[in-house]
Structure 1
């Protein structure tokens, strides 16, 4: 995973800044350059009848200058320690399109954004509309940071060796390679998880399958175990870090993350249908509803996506 340029989406009106914290942590380990991006839009300053165009322009300029000053405050101590940091402020809506526009211009290697701010004791990775839109459309890896305390000790790659979720095979290889690289670069303990669920006995209505249900379950377990072992065979991954779990991903993955105190979950996602209606996949969406850690989403390279659809 080539990490030379990181883009960090900043909400200048919010504290703390978990996305910036993660990006800085990564830059310190690898020397990547940072760009801090703030996007602003105010309906009353965009064609309101209360002001003429000159007043609109003055008010917009003042607001953007205020946001720029805040970004410079965040950048100053980072530059003082030797990091390369640029700042950029954009005017536009919706927010995700403005962010995607800057991604297209800058072509960063990784984008960081904080998830929706948690309130009270709720620790889940709450995703607002902008996060979901970036998950669907961001063309580069996307790191969503939650607002819980960051430990930076363990990461986990969620794999799908039988491609039940219709992911191209190369995506699992990218997940493994990225997990191994981040684990070494950031000194994080890297784990690898695959979970699967047989058809519940209560939903089996075929008489022959009912009679051989236990054999069906064992056959499925063996198939998934063999596929998981084949996928990881080329890598020197200890058995204690290979996890094959039985159960639905939306239940197993959040529980695994919580029980193993995972700080960063890597998942693969694909776009479905036309770009305007792209989804990252039902499994990933259900998992994210219950996740309690940071999330790094990887997508297939364009040629991999095309091959998967053929």
Structure 2
């Protein structure tokens, strides 16, 4: 992961812009270029029984000009610090498609967007901009949870045995990103791997059922050896890593809470459509269960 060009999605409906705060912080530390992107669409300014097309066009242009001026005002303090900041206002919907179009054009190293918790089944099934970006964004995606934030500790969630069919290269990307952020920004890194043996109640092999503790120990040994090998290959100090038994989404959320993690790095790939929309994957379940910022990475060849 590089930090040369940042793309920040501005939410005009919100009074504060925590994603911009994160980008400002990153740019000050790395001299990265920053682009502010604001996407707007109002159907009342597209079709009307009262106004003609020229009037609607003028109204849209006036709205976009006003939004552009607001972005310029947001960019001004960053430029005064010597940072390179550009602004972009786009008209269109759905939001995630407009964002992805700009990502394809700009090819940023990192996309930053504020997010909000959504709990309704309808929103999960249909998807909102954050879920869609999580599935389809080809560049690292930083989802920002809160405005009040100090990044003192980060955690990279690893899966050396790839229990979720996650490509092996993704663990190396996560470690490299964690090391980059740690070295560049002075953040304390942690590396976490959790695993869950098959519950005894779900085993149908009588030998395993009768010697379940031995099976658990074998499972623990397998995961510990794979985790330690991954860390050794990447040059990660063992005292920065922790191995936990339990379901990933539960153990990751517990670790984030216990260690007061400010930024969680996690790998994600999309699998299918309907099944993924209904049950999600580990990254999506973690997003719903933690309140820290989330940095999602994918492999360059991931089918998203």
TM band (smaller chain): over 0.9
Counterparts in 2 of 1:194 and 1:3: CA distance versus 1, 3 Å: same
- Counterpart CA distance in 1 for 2:263 and 2:239 is 18
1:26-81 deviations in Å (ceiling 9; x for gaps):
11111000000000000111122221101111111111111111101100111011
Contact 2:117 2:288 in 1 (8 A): no
C-alpha displacement at 1:204, in angstroms?
2.3
How far, CA to CA, are the matches of 2:147 and 2:207 in structure 1? 50
Q: Quote how far apart the aligned CAs of 1:281 are.
A: 5.7
SS in 2 for 1:93: coil
Q: Could you tell me the TM-score, scaled by structure 1's length?
A: 0.90
1:79–1:85 Cα contact (<8 Å) kept: yes
Instruction: Specify the alignment match of 1:92 in structure 2.
Output: 92
Match of 1:32 in 2: 32
Structure 1 runs of 4+ aligned residues shifted over 3 Å read: 276-281
CA distance in 2, matches of 1:288, 1:88: 28
CA offsets per residue over residues 199-224 of structure 1, 9 Å max, x none? 11222232211111110000000000
Aligned-partner Cα distance in 1 for 2:13–2:66: 11
The match for 1:121 is none
- 8 Å CA contact 1:136–1:278 kept in 2: the answer is no
1:253 Cα deviation from its structure 2 partner = 0.6
**Partner residue in 1 for 2:77:** 77
Partner of 1:197: 196
1:17 and 2:9 matched = no
Maintained 8 Å contact 1:12/1:70: no
Q: 1:52 aligned to 2:64?
A: no
User: Contact conserved, 1:270 with 1:281, CA < 8 A, in 2?
Assistant: no
User: 2:268 matched to 1:269?
Assistant: yes
**Structure 2 CA distance for partners of 1:208 and 1:171, relative to 1, 3 Å:** same
**In structure 2, how many angstroms separate the alpha carbons of the residues matched to 1:211 and 1:277?**
35
1:124 alignment partner in structure 2: none
Contact 1:155 1:188 in 2 (8 A): yes
Contact 2:39 2:95 in 1 (8 A): yes
CA distance in structure 1 between the partners assigned to 2:147 and 2:73 by the alignment: 23
Cα distance change, pair 50–116 in 1 and its aligned pair in 2 (3 A): farther
Q: 1:278 to 1:82 in 2, by over 3 A?
A: farther
Q: Equivalences for 1:226-305 in 2 at 5 Å?
A: 226-273=225-272, 282-302=281-301, 305=302
Secondary structure of the residue that 1:301 maps to in structure 2?
A: coil
Residues 2-24 of structure 1: per-residue CA shift (max 9 Å, x gap): 22111000013312111000011
Deviates further, 283-292 or 156-165: 283-292
* Shift in alpha-carbon separation, 1:277–1:69, aligned structure 2, 3 A: farther
- Provide the residue aligned with 2:146 in structure 1: 147
The aligned counterpart of 1:102 is 102
- Equivalence for 2:124: none
> Secondary structure in 2 aligned to 1:223?
helix
| Partner of residue 112, structure 2 | 112
Contact 1:196 1:248 in 2 (8 A): yes
Aligned partners of 1:161 and 1:117: how far apart in 2?
A: 29
